[in-house]
Structure 1
Amino acid sequence: MTRHFLKDHDITPAEQAELLRFAAAMKNDRHGFDSLNHQGRLRSVAVVFEKPSTRTRLSFQIGIAELGGHPVVLDSQSSQLGRGESIADTAQVLSRYVDAIVIRTFGDDRIAELAQHATVPVVNALTDGWHPCQLLADLQTVAEHRRESLHTLRGTKLAFVGDAAFNMGNSTVIACSMAGMHVRVGAPAGYQPADDVLERAAEINAETGGSVTVTDDAVKAVTGADVVSTDAWLSMGMKDHEQRVADLTPYQLNAALLGHAAEDAIVLHCLPAHRGEEITDAVMDGPQSRVFDQAENRLHAQKALLAWLIGGDRR
């Protein structure tokens, strides 16, 4: 059966830990794995962009090449997707050419339809609802900071402040629950995770020992946290910018708010950042920031994922 990675919980907590161990090994020996080169046959991976990208494009394209594979980068402007070819037809065609499909797109219905008709693994490089590859990188970054076994992510306290109603909020709640972490979401009404996401997290936490708390009090969310994470308030296509900024300004990750976290807390942001809005320069560039380690770890985490899904490499 073809395995896809569309949402964080398309893998099990044990598989997530396995992937993170593999990602750490790949970081320690960046050019020591050729999992997509099978007896001289280079596996090809289509990397499809329906949204602009910097880190996702670079990390997947470079990572596939470093694994000995061949990245085929497509965007809607230079392919028939931009001229109305159906997702189903695209999935069937790509499946006959490549060994996997990575896609950065809009609605989750699009990637679900792609996976339904594809006969090769489909990887979510970002949709409106989920950002699972980012969370693998985030968890790898937290584990590096704690300098402990990945199993000891269990019990780590992570605060997510700001707009938690979309991809980063959803993936943070689910992926951290899978790691047995304690998540506190600080967000105003209308910007909190949906009930179905919280219900799924509760099911996972019953197995892993983690927890999720949602509050509209940013200070309460951050107090004592080992990790403080945020995301942009304004994304492509969003309207009511002035209202969103007004609603979310009390949740800005600044020095005063960070001061309520644990003394050795680290700061995460998936980038791109709107400096001066959801995060200040002082925090983004400060000694507690691990934002650029986090960005680098996209490369290593995604290499591990692709080797695991396509190459069958689970070292």
Structure 2
Amino acid sequence: MAVSTVGDFLEFHDLSADAIAAILERAGALDEAWRKRRMPQSLEGLRVALIVDDGGWRNTTAFDLGIHAMGGICTHAPVSLGGREAIVDLAGYLDNWFDMVVVRTPQLGQLRELAAHARAPVINARTRSNHPCETLGDLAYVRAKRARIEDLKIVGVAPDANILRSWVEASISLPIEVVQVYPDDWHVGEPALLNPNFRQSTDMRELEDADVIFTDSWPSGVPEGELAGYRISAAILERCRPDAIFIPCPPVARGQEVTADAMTHPACQSTAAKAFLLHAQNALMEWIAARTGA
């Protein structure tokens, strides 16, 4: 098997704390450039394959828009990593034409296989196991608001699923504290993710001194009564720090993980935070291209 490219971004902790710091700082600069309509052409000539094998629209649309805004060429490739063509063959065919490959696909294992065989850097645009670009975008927003990310307490009221897992991945390489607050049955148990910067609780009072609070969808098929105590409302947000940043993950199910009044509370900054998906992903591509010769 070929060796994965040094510029791959498949799990958040693929990149060091220093690399993430540089990307987040650059995302802030690209936010300003975007607002002024003066985007640098630092991806000029970069040929990127965008593979959407698992629905969704936010971060893949941001990839497409960002690549073009920074001078690159983006082509939607109608490829499935679980299709008839072997992944090792797909890697070679994609390498014929593309300098970078961005993939949204269900299985992280298949994405790892593609990255292992492709010469081009591969970026994870979401799997069912993790969603590192989403976390990167949220962190870029938090840094823009707080001027730092070090020593922040980040609480996820979420089950063991892709959003939470990417925050846990981030805690492996970054100086942040991540706390999962949820019933025991949905706690993260994968040994590779457990680390000193991550802990678990069932106590919603953990939110009261959190710097950042995020949610994810309730698990399907679970009786409402089992999770009702983990629904975030405006009343809960009123007990939190006045500068707390609440980022419910879209799509938001009002009446399940959040109440309608939580979405209009001043702490809720989901729309503003998700704007930084574009800037963080642009900064990530720029960083990878500069260091790999893509």
- TM-score, scaled relative to structure 2: 0.90
Which secondary structure state, in structure 1, belongs to the residue aligned with residue 110 of structure 2? helix
Return the alpha-carbon distance in structure 2 between the equivalents of residues 171 and 116 of structure 1: 21
CA contact (8 A) 1:107 1:129 kept: yes
Q: Which residue of 1 aligns with 2:198?
A: 212
Q: Which residue of 2 aligns with 1:310?
A: 289
Q: What CA deviation, in whole Å up to 9, does each residue of 1:29-65 have, x standing for no partner?
A: 123311111xxxx111111011111202210100110
Which of the residues 274, 278, 284 maps onto 2:253?
Answer: 274
The residue type paired with residue 15 of structure 2 is I
- 1:85 deviation in Å? 1.6
Query: Structure 1: which 4+ aligned runs deviate by more than 4 Å?
Result: 79-83
Is 2:211 the partner of 1:226?
A: yes
The residue type paired with residue 270 of structure 1 is C
Which of the residues 47, 70, 73 maps onto 1:70?
Answer: 73
Which of the residues 17, 21, 29 maps onto 2:21?
Answer: 17
- 1:176 deviation in Å? 4.2
Q: How does 1:28-67 map to 2 (within 5 A)?
A: 28-30=32-34, 31-37=38-44, 42-67=45-70
CA contact (8 A) 1:160 1:184 kept: yes
- 1:245 deviation in Å? 4.3
Return the alpha-carbon distance in structure 2 between the equivalents of residues 251 and 191 of structure 1: 12
Q: Which residue of 1 aligns with 2:237?
A: 258
Return the alpha-carbon distance in structure 2 between the equivalents of residues 304 and 281 of structure 1: 33
Q: Which residue of 2 aligns with 1:162?
A: 158
Which secondary structure state, in structure 2, belongs to the residue aligned with residue 194 of structure 1? coil
Q: What CA deviation, in whole Å up to 9, does each residue of 1:85-125 have, x standing for no partner?
A: 22221111111110111101111111011101111000000
Q: Which residue of 1 aligns with 2:169?
A: 174
CA contact (8 A) 1:88 1:113 kept: yes
Which of the residues 272, 275, 288 maps onto 1:296?
Answer: 275
Distance change >3 Å, CA 80–CA 126, structure 1 → 2: closer
RMSD (Å), alpha carbons: 1.9
Distance change >3 Å, CA 27–CA 10, structure 1 → 2: same
Return the alpha-carbon distance in structure 2 between the equivalents of residues 195 and 312 of structure 1: 32
Q: What CA deviation, in whole Å up to 9, does each residue of 1:149-181 have, x standing for no partner?
A: x3xx21212111021x12111111221453312
Q: Which residue of 2 aligns with 1:120?
A: 120
Return the alpha-carbon distance in structure 1 between the equivalents of residues 124 and 56 of structure 2: 14
Distance change >3 Å, CA 178–CA 82, structure 1 → 2: closer
Gap runs ≥5 in structure 1:
203-210, 235-240
Return the alpha-carbon distance in structure 2 between the equivalents of residues 154 and 292 of structure 1: 23
Q: What CA deviation, in whole Å up to 9, does each residue of 1:195-228 have, x standing for no partner?
A: 42443x33xxxxxxxx3220122x2321211211
Percent identical residues: 30
Which secondary structure state, in structure 2, belongs to the residue aligned with residue 190 of structure 1? helix
Return the alpha-carbon distance in structure 2 between the equivalents of residues 180 and 59 of structure 1: 28
- 1:293 deviation in Å? 1.3
Alignment length (residue pairs) = 285
Q: Which residue of 2 aligns with 1:145?
A: 145
Distance change >3 Å, CA 225–CA 81, structure 1 → 2: closer
Gap runs ≥5 in structure 2:
none
Return the alpha-carbon distance in structure 2 between the equivalents of residues 85 and 108 of structure 1: 17
Which secondary structure state, in structure 1, belongs to the residue aligned with residue 130 of structure 2? coil
Distance change >3 Å, CA 67–CA 271, structure 1 → 2: same
Distance change >3 Å, CA 50–CA 80, structure 1 → 2: closer
Return the alpha-carbon distance in structure 2 between the equivalents of residues 14 and 83 of structure 1: 37
Which secondary structure state, in structure 1, belongs to the residue aligned with residue 186 of structure 2? coil
Q: What CA deviation, in whole Å up to 9, does each residue of 1:213-262 have, x standing for no partner?
A: 20122x2321211211111225xxxxxx3326443332112123323321
- 1:80 deviation in Å? 6.5
CA contact (8 A) 1:253 1:283 kept: yes
- 1:4 deviation in Å? 0.5
The residue type paired with residue 41 of structure 2 is D
Return the alpha-carbon distance in structure 2 between the equivalents of residues 257 and 160 of structure 1: 14
CA contact (8 A) 1:4 1:121 kept: yes
- TM-score, scaled relative to structure 1: 0.85
Distance change >3 Å, CA 122–CA 245, structure 1 → 2: farther
Return the alpha-carbon distance in structure 2 between the equivalents of residues 269 and 51 of structure 1: 21
Distance change >3 Å, CA 111–CA 288, structure 1 → 2: same
CA contact (8 A) 1:17 1:179 kept: no
